[in-house]
Structure 1
């Protein structure tokens, strides 16, 4: 059974002020559910959260969400979760970069805010489900258990950032946009036909709490500057940097190295050591990863009982790659059928069985196809 065939529910629709969440709320109401709209105030200074089409959660977005709710004909509220967002998302983001890891704040927001803080409050107030504009599907099996699946339209699938949802959260999640193959242009046309002002509103992008899109500047403000060395795989100094947190595994641009590699090939970031404050660079071939270990696994349903073949996705807009995965205590060990690149500690690895999301975990270490500078 999909979202569209569920019985009448009391639904809390999270409305960001964008077109997707507005159409999702409208579809939920049209399906006969008792819908209430809510906008999450996630910043103590919301005017700072938008520059052009960047980000979300501004006063402007709150007004847009309210106007959409008025058109749909549903009650609307603004809930202040700024302190929880600061602690669980923004501070976590800064701490992860300080530790040399590359976090995904959208995934953390879904885990800690939209389907934890928001859902808990919704259930306490008597709501049955939280509705969002994510492109994914919750499917109910004959035995009553629920599964998270990719969206019907793979081009818009957002199941990767929902891979942190557990069975309890899936039982109260509703994604009205996920089971129809509708282009974004058609979603906008639907919004216009419903009289929703946000039909032509640009999509938000990048990190909502970094208003100008300058992640390195944001981190420098919070972590300060600390000059360190940029070295090659043999440890020879090639240049300096003003903060190891300003780099990510696989990065090519912005290294500012005066001398090219001896063979003229580009250099890429291979390793980041916050303790030694060094950044190691080298050739693209040294980025090849054949296995990883991930921690804090979260399962979208039943915990896998035995090692098995899956596919894995390593970033929000990445492709799938075949893997073999096994659990060992609280760790997930993933071996790739073919080497992959651009894998960094702190990222999430999300496992799939066909279109079904099995679960996710946070990458702790990687194993290179050729030995890395620190055995990473």
Structure 2
């Protein structure tokens, strides 16, 4: 068996874990590591790390002065000390040939300081702060889980040259669904600002010929229109997206990937995120013709026009959004990266 690949999984959001499992299942020897992984990695080995959060939420704020090359480094935190010790202990014993980091500039630096080549997962947005740029420089390669056409226009050429673009790592198994042209599907996520049921009730009344369905968390409107249905959390979101006549949602990785995989008409309403992650992705979708984008809440009389625009745009699918790499292509690429040569073997005397 080859030396292992370590794979760090951030605990904020579930996309990191889903990518890790999809790729890890195709690697010969991989160790997932992160907080809260117990019982959530399938048959893959994992190292469950102590929590490094300051409270039950995770805002990524440590309330201390720190070097510009770090994002999150709270002081005197026992969980952070323990997780750092566990990771470096595993590295010393297992001698990994590669460390995939999805995502944390601190873990990327820790792996590099431990003499392990890193692959840093580069998310969307204008990530040009000192910490991100240092993580990019220190990495052997970068992995972007999106189409190259959706990369932020401000990203420097040297970062793009190090990047392996890999859309569709987590595959949708419902791309052959029968489309219901009369359904508008609204896809909501936790913690989003689009979950006001009163607003969606107004939208449904403004387009009464359409059946409006909402999946994800949404408040119940005081008066429910006959053509609006709240389905809450569902286990088949990809299938419902693939079967919808039109999809409305934010610009998170999950919904965008599912919409592009199924090639559905899309009205994208990006939400505020660090490093303008969703705004950047939505703007690139609009630029290449992959979505109708609204950064503000539409007036009631605008909904029918927006739906029509999304349908018309979808009839000319942009070629730059064709094709998906899938996890197989990524796993082959990771396997081929290997261990860099030692550049200086001289002894210090």
TM-score scaled to structure 2, two decimals? 0.30
Higher relative contact order, structure no. (Cα contacts within 8 Å, ≥ 6 residues apart): 1
Larger helix proportion of the pair: 2
Larger strand proportion of the pair: 1
